Amino acid sequence: MILLSVPSLTADQWLGLVHPVLIILFVYPVVGATIRLGILARERRLDLNPIAPTVPVEHADHGRWVTGVVVLAMLIGMAHDIATAPLVAGDSHFAPLVMAGAGVIATFAALLRTRPTAPRLAWAFSTWLGLLLLGSQPGVVRGADWPWQSAFWQSHYWGGIALSGLLLLSMGLQGEIGRRPKIRRLHVGLNLVVALLLATQAISGTRNLLS
């Protein structure tokens, strides 16, 4: 019998596991429920399935949780990148970065509290811009920054930016999705891309763990 000892992890490595564990334990299961509730909301609207009127509301609630935790997990992933990167003279200072992270959380909280579509879209866009601002810091692993570079398409960071942008857009448009058929079709189409991005994030994220 061969006994293999489990390698012990440093505190840094344990902290690096917070992001993937949060995504695996919370985001993927709740996305499954969100997709199922979305399909049920559609069946209800088309009179194919006589289910409770709370289903579309539950779908949007689940979607909000998924978006919120994706934003939080991205902040944690980027913070870990920045904290563990070797320090170079001229690198950004700690305090402005913490303020930018707090700004992302504050704009997301404002999005949750706002009803009319225009300001919701503005808060959603501000949250996404905050993520981009933090992602532009030295230390954050982006792969490549331009679409004509192949590393761009393999980048876990840019996949996350696209995914969070689409989820935040759904949150911004929430009031219109139920009301306007064109927006609803756009919502379903864009969220098929979200489902695809969730799969590619799982692949590039586990690849990150191996490297």
Applying CB under 6 A, among 97, 104, 124, 167 the residue interacting with ligand HEM is: 167
CA atoms within 13 A of residue 203's CA, in its CB half-sphere:
10
CA-based nearest residue to 56, from 172, 163, 166, 175: 175
Give the type of residue at 162: A
H/E segment holding residue 9: none
Residue number, 2 or 211, with CB nearest to ligand HEM: 211
CA distance 86 to 164: 27
CA-based nearest residue to 31, from 186, 199, 156: 199
Applying CB under 6 A, among 38, 87, 151, 182 the residue interacting with ligand HEM is: 38
Residue 2 CB, shortest distance to ligand HEM, in Å, is 27
Query: Which of the ranges 58-66, 96-104, 109-117, 145-153 carries the binding residues for ligand HEM, by CB under 6 A?
Result: 58-66
Kindly state whether residue 120 participates in binding ligand HEM, applying the rule CB under 6 A.
Answer: no
Kindly state whether residue 40 participates in binding ligand HEM, applying the rule CB under 6 A.
Answer: no
The full length of the chain comes to 211
Asked if 177 contacts 191 with a C-beta cutoff of 8 angstroms, the reply is no
Kindly state whether residue 174 participates in binding ligand HEM, applying the rule CB under 6 A.
Answer: yes
Residue number, 3 or 146, with CB nearest to ligand HEM: 146
CA distance 37 to 51: 11
DSSP state of 23: I
Secondary structure in 3-state letters for 28-48: HHHHHHHHHHHHHHHHHHCCC
Q: Which two tokens stand for residue 92?
A: 């950004």
Applying CB under 6 A, among 70, 97, 104, 121 the residue interacting with ligand HEM is: 70
Applying CB under 6 A, among 92, 154, 184, 200 the residue interacting with ligand HEM is: 184
Write out the residues near ligand HEM by the rule CB under 6 A: 16, 19-20, 23-24, 27, 31, 34-35, 38-39, 41-42, 45, 56, 59-60, 63-64, 67, 70, 74, 77-78, 80-81, 140-141, 156-157, 160, 163-164, 167, 170-171, 174, 177-178, 184, 187-188, 191, 194-195, 198, 201-202, 205-206, 208-209
